[in-house]
Amino acid sequence: MFLLAAISLLLCCAAALGGSSYLSAPGWPALFVVGSLGVALGLFTVSVHDVRRYPGVLLISAVACLLPALQLIPLPPEIWHALPGRDLVTAVDAAAGLGAPWRPLSLVPVMTEHALMSLMVPLALVLLAVQLDDRHHERLLWMLLLLILGSALLAVAQNQVPALQGLLGYKRLDVDIATGLFSNRNHQALMMACGLPLLLAAVRQRSGLLRQIGHVAVPTIVMGGAFILLAMILVTGSRAGLLLYSVALAGLPLMWPHDGNSHARVISVSPLRMGLSIGSGVLMLALIVVIAVDNRTALAVIRLLESDPAGDLRPVIFEQTAEFVGRYWPAGTGIGTFIPIYALEEPVSLMQTAYINQAHNDWLDIALTGGAPGVAVLVGASLYMLWLAARHFFGTGGHARGQIFGRCASLIVLLCALASIVDFPLRTPLMMSILALALVWTAQPLTPPVRTHGHIHRKLRA
């Protein structure tokens, strides 16, 4: 229970202070402190048994933090000057008479330090979550649903009271858009899309109780929640959010384990009642869209219909960033250094008044800032996640609860991966925290844990 309380505190801090990726976000210092304390607690309480049950996810988490840490180690001048893309700094050193000082691999160490410290909260969540049993993981699932509900309710309040849009102190480009706990509409939309698999997983845990209330209780709750989440995405105006929602919706039928047991079926109702439920759901969806478009509040649909591809900067940013990757390959520029590197390398002919704060493609960003080591870590982690997802979807012999958690988490990881192709949601501590818990759930062993956490309490008493 103590560990669950610590995780709850970390999630609350990430929700209140970690909805922005801007370096100027006021919550970063507090998150650094809280995350570091959480990592210390996790390292103190984690056991060899926990490491044996979650070796892959712990290794990925450690390597993800080790990469920026290694980029901060000063290198001898002869090694540093041999790295690609360091000619300008070398010329400045010579002109200023600085000689040949030892420098870290990162071209902007202070930004790499920031990137490293931003990983403390998700790392702490991984270290603590691997120590929990199934009962506590189920409570974590409900906590995430409450966070999503809170972000949705805050967005509703922001629509009604525009002054609340500056409540969290974030720098906002879309000042007239309700984005809940985030500063970016696409990040809010991704969180709402992640709510779909979380909702179905939560209903699965309580399906027996819900069927006692009524045969249509399960489909009613799932459909009602799905339409609320869709309405919230429509309000944000996120085109990517609509596509992610479609992926999440299409993945829901694949989530439910079909192991031949009656209690593992998602809905046990007659075809007539099921048809009526689906029909009423479609009617409700159409009504929401019509009303929203008529009142000019379904910004996602409107932006999708009125979008001018020529005016979208993403293809231009992608092309330039891909060119920059070759200049600094294979060493990279240092995790978190995209902004100054882009400003340094951007052609004069393409300079404009728009502020480019991210690559809007985190896969490409890692290739630029992490170099070959970053790509190797990314490829290794992706292959490992694919193997874990295949185990949950196609493996046999696992318990139903672990299977539904694994499938839910796999879908969340997929949504985050797709969102990172056109945006940078995992630069925010809140979305990093959600992904961290999803990684732990994806890596859950197929057999349920049998031990208690008495060793933790003994350590704390000592």
Q: Are 443 and 54 in contact (CB under 8 A)?
A: yes
442 burial (CB, 10 Å; 0-12 / 13-18 / 19+) is: buried
Band (pLDDT 50/70/90 cuts) for residue 383 is very high
For the chain, the average pLDDT equals: 79
- Please state, for a pLDDT cut of 70, what percent of the chain lies above it: 75
- Confidence at 204, pLDDT banded by 50, 70, 90: confident
End-to-end alpha-carbon separation of the chain, Å?
A: 18
pLDDT value of position 8? 93
pLDDT digits over 68-92, tens only? 999 999 999 888 888 888 888 878 7
Q: Tell me the pLDDT tens digit for each residue of 224-274.
A: 888 888 888 888 878 888 888 888 888 877 776 554 443 444 333 345 444
**How many Å apart are CA 462 and CA 311, to the nearest integer?**
62
Split at pLDDT 50, 70, 90, the class of 57 is: very high
User: In the prediction, which pLDDT does 224 show?
Assistant: 82
Q: For residue 427, what are its two tokens?
A: 């630069």
Residue 48 parent element (H or E)? helix 48-53
Between 461 and 446, the higher pLDDT residue? 446
- Which candidate, 145, 197, 190, 200, places its Cα nearest to that of 389? 197
